[in-house]
Amino acid sequence: MPDGRRFGPADIDTIKEWVADGRVPLEASLIDPQTGSTQAVGSVPEMAALAPGPANDPMSTVIPYRNGAALLSYYMGVFSLIALFPFFGLVGIAMAAVAVVAGVIGLKRAKADRRAKGRVHCWIGLVCGVLFGLLGLGINVFLIVLILMDA
């Protein structure tokens, strides 16, 4: 550690967890127990990618700009409401399907990268996409059956 404290030995997965949690700064040194060589945590690309972003970044919580799939899921899920309206239903159902797929991708991205954020956006997109998609599908199938029965 920059202040002279030492921890370990620890396996690479434990060190990755410490870096992701912000307990190990990027300036800390990694010491190879076999060779004794040292290397800064920040110089290892896979470690640097795990480091938390700027502390208290409220904008990335409100608008998860690092997780495009979360934003796509959110907006497609909310606007898939048009699936409930006759003749717009197919567009809404397609939007609902995109919302569900993007929501799953966004959740995986948020889990893999703590800086990505957007879990709530993903869940809103997933719930709205499934709910409006299924309801819209039911309404539109019902309307198509009614139209075909009258013909």
Angle, CA of 42, 109 and 60, to the nearest 5°: 75
Mean pLDDT in the chain? 83
**Residue 21 clears pLDDT 70, i.e. is over it:** yes
User: In terms of residue numbers, what domain contains 109?
Assistant: 58-150
> Rounded distance, CA 127 to CA 137, Å?
15
- In the DSSP assignment, the letter for residue 63 is S
pLDDT at 108: 93
**Residue 100 clears pLDDT 80, i.e. is over it:** yes
The helix (run of H) or strand (run of E) holding residue 39 is strand 38-40
Confidence category of residue 130, pLDDT binned at 50, 70, 90:
very high
Q: Does residue 123 lie in a domain region? A: yes
Instruction: Look at the chain and report how many structural domains it folds into.
Output: 2
pLDDT at 92: 92
**Residue 129 clears pLDDT 90, i.e. is over it:** yes
Within this chain, do residues 90 and 139 fall inside the same structural domain, yes or no? Answer: yes
Within this chain, do residues 115 and 64 fall inside the same structural domain, yes or no? Answer: yes
- C-alpha dihedral over 118, 114, 49, 54, to 10 degrees? 90
* pLDDT tens by residue, 35-69: 877 777 777 777 766 666 554 467 777 788 789 99
> Rounded distance, CA 103 to CA 72, Å?
8
